[in-house]
Amino acid sequence: MNMTGLVARYADAWNAHHPGACAGCFAPDGERVWRVLAPPHVGGDPFPRFRGREAVREGIASFMASVPDLVVDVTALSDGSDGRIWIEWRLWGTHLHDWGPWTARGEPVDFVGVSIFTIGDRGFAEERLYWDQLLMTGPPAAVSTAGG
């Protein structure tokens, strides 16, 4: 997929494993909002918000440390009728380090998600993330690719 602009910079920063560059794509008071139930180690709001570049950087760095060989592939991109941009993405790698209660077993990680961005004058004002927790944190045997 040929991407340009802020979304391309963001995807490139993920693939470069550079949480500071990811956070730099956000406005100073931008938010990264999980629209999935948070794992217990996050605490607080069951649908966490990471507000401000430093909080965004810390959250991304924590996940990148747990899957240090991660790759993010943007598989679809579109402008919404309300000016937002959405992407569908796939993330894969190897879970080598614990992330809160998600105990590393060296298992492969491979899941898809959607991000919806509101763009402001100084970067992402908001990223809303949606993904299937079972695909991300379930043991490999819990996810079947067989039809039926």
**Hey, what amino acid is at 15?**
N
Domain extent listing, the chain: 5-138
Residue pair 121/98 in contact (Cβ under 8 Å)? The answer is no
- Comparison of pLDDT for 105 and 20, the residue scoring more: 20
Q: What is the pLDDT of residue 140?
A: 45
Give the single-character DSSP code of 59. Answer: H
- Measured in degrees and rounded to the nearest 5, phi and psi for residue 142 equal -80, -15
Specify the fold of 5-138: Nuclear Transport Factor 2; Chain: A, (3.10.450)
> What does pTM read for this prediction?
0.84
At 91-138, the pLDDT tens digits run 999 999 988 777 889 999 998 999 999 999 999 999 999 987 666 655
Residue pair 135/112 in contact (Cβ under 8 Å)? The answer is yes
DSSP string covering 17-35? T-HHHHHTTEEEEEEEEE-
